[in-house]
Amino acid sequence: MFKVTIDGIEVEIPEGSTILEAARKIGPEVAPPTMCYYSSLETSGGYCRTCLVEVTKGSEKDPRPMPKLVPACRTQAMDGMVVTNELSARVKEARAGVTEFLLFNHPLDCPVCDQAGECHLQDLSYEHGKYKTRTDFERRTFEKIDIGDKISLHMNRCILCYRCVKVADQLTDNRVHGVLNRGDHAEISTYIKEAIDNDFSGNMIDVCPVGALTDRTFRFKSRVWFTKPMDAHRDCEKCSGKVVLWYKGDDVLRVTGRKDTWGEVEEFICNTCRFDKKKTSDWTIEGVRDISRHSVISANKYKKLVKPNEFTLNDIKALPE
């Protein structure tokens, strides 16, 4: 076991773990945000640079600090390593910079984007971004391509995290989409306009941190925070069948995988469960899905919400003279 200190908190981790894994073990207060890393996808991470952290002590053996900020998701933690994340001004500045870069070409169409409310980029910009934009240049746009009747690709919103490419590589047999072109014109595309059609393609939607890949069967039906998530399962021959149903009234508007604290799907689900089973009778309901109190999706729906102390006029005291 290795001992690693992150933001002054010590944690024990198995050898070979990354800094991010160590930070997540401590908890959300020190875990850096991630936009491209996905724990269940191999070789993911390292691209978005939001998880950059400062290593102030390399290890017990070699205590030299690392000169550059390092991506927590792809850097192995060493025994005795000391890492600063939120406490480092350098990290905060770099992270604010990365947030700004990610938003540089990202359309501000949140009001019409299905991902709004569960978008990682929204969270990132809220927590680490600037309140004011410093650019008025025209954003780059792409021609829209059709990738099938179940998934909608809105390339303008893509931040090139490569997660959907890795899903196709590691979960399905034949990957038909990938990254074409270079630089800020790089795009997720099927080379010869082909539909992405296989049993697990729907997971691309769940792993997409932004609204670039959305569920066509759910498109424009409702804002996510007006829907009520319920845990449910069914016997499925292809996948675990453990899902979240998103209800509005008595209707199931969409089905997704179950996401953990870090917004990552616990178990990938198949397209039959996701797109075709939209009746309550298809499912065994387990109960209301626990959603973080800080998420907009939880708004006004949970009894867990603590009622604030009632405010009375008697509380007002005159200022001391």
Residues found near other proteins in the complex (CB under 8 A): 46-49, 52, 68-69, 71, 74, 93-94, 97-98, 100-102, 104-105, 134-135, 137, 140, 159-160, 162, 178-179, 181-186
Least spacing, CB of residue 182 vs other proteins, in Å:
6
Looking at the Cβ atoms of 188 and 273, the one nearer to other proteins is 188
Non-local (6+) Cβ contacts of 100 within 8 A are 129, 130, 134
Cβ-based neighbours of 78, under 8 Å, separated by 6 or more: 2, 4, 58, 59, 60, 61, 62
- For residue 110, the tally of other CB atoms under 10 A from its CB is 16
Nearer to other proteins, 184 or 266 (CB): 184
Query: At closest approach, how far in Å is the CB of 97 from other proteins?
Result: 3
Tokens of 186: 């790089």
Shorter beta-carbon distance to other proteins: residue 106 or 254: 106
At 317, list the tokens. Answer: 């005291």
Report the SS3 class of residue 76. strand
Q: Using CA atoms, how far apart are residues 127 and 96, in angstroms rounded to an integer?
A: 9
Three-state SS sequence of 287-298: EECCCCCCCHHH
Residue closer to other proteins by CB (options 186, 305) is 186
Minimum Å gap between C-beta 42 and other proteins is: 13
Minimum Å gap between C-beta 275 and other proteins is 30
* Shortest distance (Å) from residue 186 CB to other proteins: 4
Which is closer to other proteins, CB of 67 or CB of 111?
67
Measured distance CA(212)–CA(218) in Å, rounded: 14
Quote the least distance from Cβ 45 to other proteins, whole Å: 8
Q: Which two tokens stand for residue 222?
A: 């409702």
Cβ proximity to other proteins, 176 vs 296, nearer residue: 176
SS3 letters across 158-186: CCCCCHHHHHHHHHCCCCCEEEECCHHHC
Q: Which is nearer to other proteins, 137 or 311 (CB)?
A: 137
Check the CA dihedral 161-106-258-114 and report its sign: negative
Closest approach of other proteins to the CB of residue 105, in Å: 6
Q: How far is the CB of 100 from other proteins (least distance, A)?
A: 7
Q: Indicate the residue among 52 and 208 with the shorter CB distance to other proteins.
A: 52
φ, ψ of residue 296 to 5 degrees: the values are -65, -25
DSSP for 192-204, please give it. SS----STTTTHH
